[in-house]
Amino acid sequence: MGRRKKRENKNQTILYLIVVFVFAVLSALGLNVSGLSESSEGVLSTSNINIVSMEDLEDITIKTGERITQDFISENAENLKVYFFDVGQADSILITNQDKTMLIDAGNNEDGKLLVQNLKDLQIQKIDYLIGTHPHEDHIGGMDDIIKNFDIGTIYMPKVQTNTKTFEDVIDAVKEKELKIETPKIGDSFSIGKAECKVLSVGTNKENLNLSSIVIKLDFEELSYLFTGDMEEEIENKLNVDKINILKVAHHGSDTSSSENFINKIAPELAIISVGKDNSYGHPSEQTIDRLKNIGTTIYRTDEVGNIMIEQKCKNSEN
C-alpha cells in the first residue's frame, strides 16, 4: 500500500508539472487562459461576447442526410421545420409551419430538378412565399423550375436586374404563370403559420448584388432565426438585430461576411453553412469558422453532412 501511494503521489506531481508547463506556454503566446484572448487584431473579452451552449436549444431536433427521405417528414404541422437543402455551392432553404411554406433561394440551374423532387418528397404542393434573395445564379438558378412545378403565392426579389439567361428564365416563368415579382421594404413583416418573419435588409446595389440581398429574421416562440442571403459586412453593420439563436451563415462562410463584431453581437448557438465540397473559393473561410467557434457556436455544413433539417417543437402542441 505504501508503494502504491508513492506511485500515486508521483503521478499527481507529473500531472501538475504538465499543467503548469501548458499554462506557461499559453501565457508566453499571449493568450489569456482565464477567459478569451485579447490581441492586437481585436478584443475578444467576455464583456462583449455571449458564451452560448446547445442546452439553450432543448426544443430543437436536427436531422441530416445525403437524400431527402421519409425520415425528414414530420407529422406535426404545429412544429416549425427548416430544411437546408444540399445544393453544393449554392443556397436553398425551405421553412414550413401549419402547412404554410416559404422557400428562400433555389440553388444553381442544375439544382432545379433536384429541388422539385425534394419538395415533392416532402409532400409540398404550394410555396406561399418564394424568395430570391438576390439575382446571382447560385440563388435563383432553380427558381424557374420551382415556379413551373408548384402553386406559387408571393414572390419577393430585390429591385435589381441582370442580363443573364438565368435571370431571364425566372422572369419568363413568372410571366408564363401570370404571376408578379414584388420587392419588400425594410420593416415589412409576414407570417408562415405561427412563425413571424421580418425583412431586415433589401438593397438596390447593381455593382455588388450581394449587398442587395433580402435578409429575413424569423421568430418562432422563444427562438429566432436569421436568413442572410449573401449579405456582406457593410450590411451587417446596418442591421437592426441583436441576439439570434440560429444563423444561416452569409455567403457560404466567405470572409467578406460574418465579421467579428457581428458574430459577437448576435452570438448564435447554431450556425448552418451551405457550401460545396472542395469548392474553388475556399469557402468557408478559416476566419469565419474561428469566429463562430470562439463563442461556442455549433456548426453544421452541407458539404459535410448533406441536407439539414431543424425541427423546433411547438410547446403548445398536443402531439
* Total Cβ atoms within 10 A of residue 39: 10
Residue 277 CA from chain centroid, whole number: 17
43-52: per-residue pLDDT in tens? 333 333 444 4
Share of the chain above pLDDT 70, in %: 82
The pLDDT of residue 317: 62
Task: Tell me which DSSP letter residue 40 carries.
Answer: T
50-312: which CATH topology? Metallo-beta-lactamase; Chain A (3.60.15)
Please tell me the distance from the alpha carbon of residue 60 to that of residue 23, in angstroms, as a whole number. Answer: 37
- Count of C-beta atoms within a 10 Å radius of residue 130: 24
User: What is the side-by-side order of every strand in the sheet holding 181-182?
Assistant: 60-65, 307-312, 80-84, 93-97, 100-104, 126-131, 151-156, 181-182
Mean pLDDT, range 148-170, rounded to an integer: 97
How much is the average pLDDT of 149-153? 98
Question: What does the pLDDT read at residue 31?
Answer: 42
If one counts every other C-beta atom within 10 angstroms of the C-beta of residue 6, the result is 10
Amino acid letter, 12: Q
Using DSSP, state whether 108 is helix, strand or coil.
coil
Pairing of strands 246-248, 223-227: parallel
Please tell me the predicted confidence (pLDDT) of residue 28: 46
38 has a pLDDT exceeding 90:
no
Phi, psi of 243 (to 5 degrees): -65, 130
Cis peptide preceding 158, ω within 30 of 0: no
Cβ-contact 201, 213 below 8 angstroms: yes
Which pLDDT value is given to residue 56?
67
Closest CA to 87 of 126, 159, 156, 145: 145
Averaged pLDDT, 109-114: 97
Say what the pLDDT of residue 58 is: 86
Reported confidence tier of residue 35, pLDDT bands at 50, 70, 90: very low
pLDDT digits (tens, 9 = 90+) for 5-19: 444 444 555 555 554
> What pLDDT does residue 316 have?
72
d(CA 25, CA 175): 66
Q: Which residue type occupies 306? A: G
Q: Where are the alpha helices (DSSP H) in the chain?
A: 2-28, 112-121, 137-140, 143-149, 165-176, 233-236, 260-266, 286-294, 302-305
pLDDT (tens digit per residue) in 265-283: 999 999 999 999 999 999 9
**217 touches 232 (CB < 8 A):** no
Mean pLDDT of 308-319: 82
Q: Write down the pLDDT at residue 196.
A: 98
Cα 123 → chain centroid: 23
pLDDT of residue 55: 66
Res 62: pLDDT: 93
250 closest CA partner among 293, 284, 278, 279: 284
Question: In terms of pLDDT, which residue wins out, 185 or 317?
Answer: 185
The grid coordinates of residue 290 equal: 474561428
3-state secondary structure of 273: strand
Per the prediction, the chain carries an average pLDDT of 87
Average pLDDT over residues 217-240: 96
Lowest mean pLDDT among 43-52, 200-209, 233-242, 276-285: 43-52
Residue bearing cell 408571393: 154
Q: Which amino acid is at 262?
A: F
- pLDDT (0 to 100) of residue 14: 53
Of the chain, the end-to-end C-alpha distance in Å amounts to 59
Domain boundaries, the chain: 50-312
Cell, residue 106: 433555389
> What percentage of the chain reaches a pLDDT higher than 90?
79
pLDDT at residue 17, as a whole number: 54
Q: What is the mean pLDDT of residues 290-306?
A: 95
DSSP 285: P
- pLDDT of the residue at 51: 45
